[in-house]
Structures are given as structure tokens and as C-alpha cells.
Amino acid sequence: MATTSAIPGAIRCTSLPFGSVDADLLVIPWFEEEGPTAVAGIDAASAGDVARALQSKEFVGRSYDIFSTHVTDAAWRIRRLAMVGAGKRATFGTETARRLAVAVGLWARQRRVARAAFLMRADAVGGATSAQMAQAIAEGLTLAEFDGGSYKTREHDVSATPAWTVVAAAGEESASQAAEGIARGRVLGECSNLARELANEPGNRLTPQEFARRAAAVASEAGVSVEILDETQIAKLGMGLLLGVARGSDEPPRMIVFRHDPPGAPATPVLGLVGKGVTFDTGGISIKPADGMERMKDDMAGGAAVACAMRAIALLQAPIRVIGIVPATENMPGGRAIKPGDVLTSASGKTVEVINTDAEGRLILGDGLWYASELGATHLVDVATLTGAVVVALGKSTSGLFGTPPEFVDQVRRVANQAGDRAWALPLFDDYRDQLKSKIADFTNTGGRPAGSITAALFISEFTGGLPWVHMDIAGTAWADEAKPYLPKGATGVAVRTLAELAFSDFE
């Protein structure tokens, strides 16, 4: 796993009648309310086995259930069918399709299917265009190819992934649209997987320097220009917050700067993406309990999302300028570590009294956001595994959104939900700022337990220079503790598709 994954092959697209598609398996999404004739030809091809399974309720179309049977019709090239439950037709949309594609993709891998076809039903696009539906399916099939990797020296089972063909309805005009959607979904899925791979890496392998090297490779391969600032350059810029967090570690910090500058792009907007890149968070002197601390190797998931979104933005040729900023450091309790009560001076000039050294993410984001605005960003979006409190508020399936103005927060929310990164806004009422009052500095870095995610966001807002800004807290969504049919355990790649798609959305 120490090397970057191979770039996957393309997902093919065809509009052949599905019986003549050259594959081993045909996957057909099926709704709960549907009888055996819902998709013409399927029941007959199975010599009535589909009708029998529906009749006996062996298969009822419940989400992610899979029923597989032989094709008996000798005229078909495909020899197996798999019906996958799509739930109720009324709730079907791109998000259901993406999840269903993951579920069936994982299933086909487990069965060692070599070549599989996925039927995109023309009567099941749920209000989306066929390009959007094809994109979601390609994203899901690609997400299912992710391999968590392993440092086991024996018996690591890298099950091969099937070669996929998406079958758009025969004769459909929108087949070329579907093909475009598939190519786009393939890129976004692949970039999500690269972010998952980075977030899965252990802290000893992925130091700030190594993270910077790998993040730079991921983005520059796609044509993004990348600059890595070392500790001397970071000090020259006066980034006292990033340097403060890094003091407790023997590993030097890095500031990774990405630029997507397409020729002919308008001067504005300039989207500034900032990702938290803590390669391991022990908590520092305010050290975390041992139990579960190993999870903190993914505290750079926001930074990985920015790097991999920059890759997608370049590959998909986003029409606007985008700057990516990833402050990278460890948070360690070394002999020179910052201590509770220490005062740090940020690059912006504002001073911070560090009450809790475990609230390090907001510190490095402060210098990161300042730098993004310094480099000319007109709109800021930061992504960070920032607070345990957001998991209490929204759980493991929904990221927290914060920011200003409300229209920009809502723009990010819509893009995120469309991209399959569910997110929900929490308020930034001014009263909460009282919790960050310091006797000795401009403010403290923690506001106590109440509204912990909100006070963290209010801290960050001090460094946005009044620009439109959205903060996405992914502490709950970056890592799956429990496997779901549509999401295996481990790093999720959250926010990659949101950040990439944002570069294609409309700015004021």
C-alpha cells in the first residue's frame, strides 16, 4: 500500500439490447412494487425464476438485497442475472443509485465476477438527467473497487474487481450523455478512493513530509501546480499557530499549496479549499485517552479531500481558478510542545490563548485560511475532522456545515447532498463567541463542552478575513466504524466529490 494505486480502467457504456451485451453478469435494479414483467424479457430469460422468487418473496426489492439466477435463454450472451433491490420507486434518485451500485459492486467482487453489466433503467432516473444518473452509478461502482490495503506480509486477499459496462436503454438519444456521466463519475470515484487510501495510512508511514509528497503527486499528475512550504518558509510567513502545534513533534510541519489556473478563467471567483492535515493527533500535552486513539491517524482526511479534489478539478477541467491549502503536522506531546495557557500569534496577527492543546485543528486552519485569502481566494471552504461534538450533534452519516453568508452555506449544502456527502447546517449565532473570551489574548482556542462544534467554527471564522466561507466538520463522516451494504468500514473519502463539484457550481 505504500505506493499510489493503479489508475483503474474505464467503465464502458453501451446501448445494446441487454441480451447481447458481452459480460458474465447483468445487474438489474428492481423496485419493491414491481412484478415479474417490470423489465421486459428478464423473467423469460430466467425461465420464470424471477417470477418465482417474487412470488415466494425470496426477493422483494428491498434496498441492497440481491437475487441472482441463471439465464436459460440460449440466445443471450450473458449467463447470469442479479436483481438488486432499489427500494420504493418514490424515494429513488442518484443517491440511492450510487449506494446500490456500491452494494452490487462489492457483491460482484466477492463472487469474483470478471465482467459485469449494470442496467441503467430509462424508467428509473428519479428526476435526474441520464448523465447525472450514469455518473452516480459510475461513482458507486468505482467506490466499490476500493481496497483498504494492508501491511500483512501473507495472505492479503486483493480480490480482483469486475470490468463494468453500463447499459443505457437501447436506442436512447441520451446514450452519449450517459457516457459522459460515466467518465465523470469514474474520475470522482477514483479521486475519492485515493483520499481513502491516504486516510487509511498509519501515522508512522504518513508523516507530514510524506503526506505532502503523496498529496503533491496525486494532484500534480493531473496538472495541478503544487508547492510545498517547509518549516523555514512557514516561519517566514509568521504562521505561529501551525508552528505552535508542530512544536511537540520531531517531524517538521509542511504547508501544501495547490493551484488550478485554467487559461482563460475569469479573475473571480477564486475558490480557496483548505483541509486539516494532522497526520496523527495524540492531543498533545492535553493528551487523549489510549482507547481508540489509533483512529487519529485519519485526522488528515480533510487535507486528503482537498488534495484529491484538486486532482478531480484538474482532470475534469473546472472552469474557475481554485487554490488548495493543506497545513500538515503531527500533534504530539514532546518536550518542546505547547502547553495549556501558552499564547500563540497567528499569521494574521491575532493572538490565541491555547486552553487545550487537543483543539489543534482550528489552530492550523486559522493560518491555512489566512494564507488562502492572502493568495487571492474570494470564497473559502474548509474541511476538517474537527470536533467530537459534531458526532454528538449529527451522528456518523451527516457532516456539519457552518459559515456565512447563508446563501453560500446553502450552495455548499446542495452540492454536497447531490454528491452523496450528506451535510446539514448548524448556526453561528454571535452569542456563542462569549465562550472564546480570553483574559490575556484575543481569544481562547476552546469554548467548553456546550455547542463545541459551533465554537470551533466561530474560532475559525476569525481567520476568514470576512470572505464568504463555509466550514465542513467531517469528524463523524470521515471514518465508518460499522460496515453498511453501501459503505465498508474505514476511510470514506467524504468531501472529495463535494469540493470538486463545487468548482462547477454557480458563484455570485
Residues acting as catalytic residues: 288, 362
* Among the listed residues 15, 94, 346, 446, the single contact to ligand BES using CB under 6 A: 446
* Contact string (CB under 6 A) for ligand BES, positions 40-79, x = contact: ----------------------------------------
CA 28 – CA 169 distance, rounded (Å):
12
Query: Shortest approach of ligand BES to residue 337 CB, angstroms?
Result: 15
List the one residue from 201, 210, 251, 299 that touches ligand BES (CB under 6 A): 299
Q: Interacting stretch for ligand BES, rule CB under 6 A, among 153-161, 207-215, 353-361, 498-506? A: 353-361
- Interaction residues for Mn ion, span 347-406 (CB under 5 A): 358, 360
Spatial contact of 415 and 503, defined as CB atoms under 8 Å apart: no
β-strand partners of 271:
322, 379
Nearest distance from C-beta of residue 282 to Mn ion, angstroms: 8
Secondary structure of residue 296 in the 3-state scheme: helix
Find the binding residues for ligand BES in span 276-295 (CB under 6 A).
Answer: 281
Q: Does 356 bind ligand BES (CB under 6 A)?
A: yes
Contacts with Zn ion in 292-321 (CB under 5 A)? 299
Cβ contact 97:41 at 8 Å: no
Q: How far apart are CA 231 and CA 367, in angstroms?
A: 14
Contact 431, 447 (CB under 8 A): no
Q: How far is the CB of 159 from Mn ion (least distance, A)?
A: 36
Q: Between 104 and 344, whose beta carbon lies closer to ligand BES?
A: 344
Provide the pairing of β-strand 443-444 with 479-480.
unpaired
Residue position matching grid coordinates 502545534: 245
Burial (0-12, 13-18, 19+ Cβ within 10 Å), 52: middle
Whole-number minimum distance, CB 43 to Mn ion, in Å? 56
Residue 78 or 278 with smaller CB distance to Zn ion: 278
Q: Name residue, grid cell 446539514.
A: 424
Query: Among residues 194 and 359, whose Cβ is nearest to Mn ion?
Result: 359
In angstroms, the Cα distances linking 285 to 165, 206, 271, 335 are 53, 22, 35, 10
Among 361, 400, 485, 493, binds Zn ion (CB under 5 A): 361
Strand pairing category for 423-425 and 443-444: unpaired
Q: Does 147 bind Mn ion (CB under 5 A)?
A: no
Total residues contacting ligand BES by CB under 6 A comes to: 15
Kindly tell me which of 385 and 411 has the beta carbon lying closer to ligand BES.
385
Site map (CB under 5 A) of Zn ion, residues 221-260, x = contact: ----------------------------------------
- Footprint of Mn ion on 260-299 (CB under 5 A): 281
Report the 3 state secondary structure along 485-503: CCECCEECCCCHHHHHHHC
CB 206 within 8 A of CB 315: no
Applying the rule CB under 6 A, the residues between 381 and 400 that interact with ligand BES are 385-389
d(CA 109, CA 162): 6
Written as one letter, the residue type at 58 is E
Which residue minimizes CB distance to Zn ion? 281
Question: Which residue's CB is nearer to Mn ion, number 357 or number 373?
Answer: 357
Whichever of 201 and 360 has its CB closer to Mn ion, that residue is 360
**Residue of minimal Cβ distance to Mn ion:** 358
Specify the residue for cell string 451522528: 395
Report residue 191 CA to chain centroid gap: 8
How many residues bind Mn ion (CB under 5 A)? The answer is 3
Phi and psi, residue 257, nearest 5°: -125, 120
Amino acid residing at 406:
P
Output the nine-digit C-alpha cell for 58: 425470496
SS3 of 66, please?
A: strand
What's the longest Cα–Cα distance across the chain? 82
Number of residue whose CB is nearest ligand BES: 388
Among 85, 284, 361, 485, indicate the residue that binds ligand BES (CB under 6 A).
361
The least distance separating ligand BES from the CB of residue 295, rounded to whole angstroms, comes to: 6
Binding site for Zn ion (CB under 5 A): 278, 281, 299, 361
Residues that bind Mn ion (CB under 5 A): 281, 358, 360
Where do contacts with ligand BES occur on this chain (CB under 6 A)? 281, 299, 356, 358-361, 385-389, 446, 452, 475
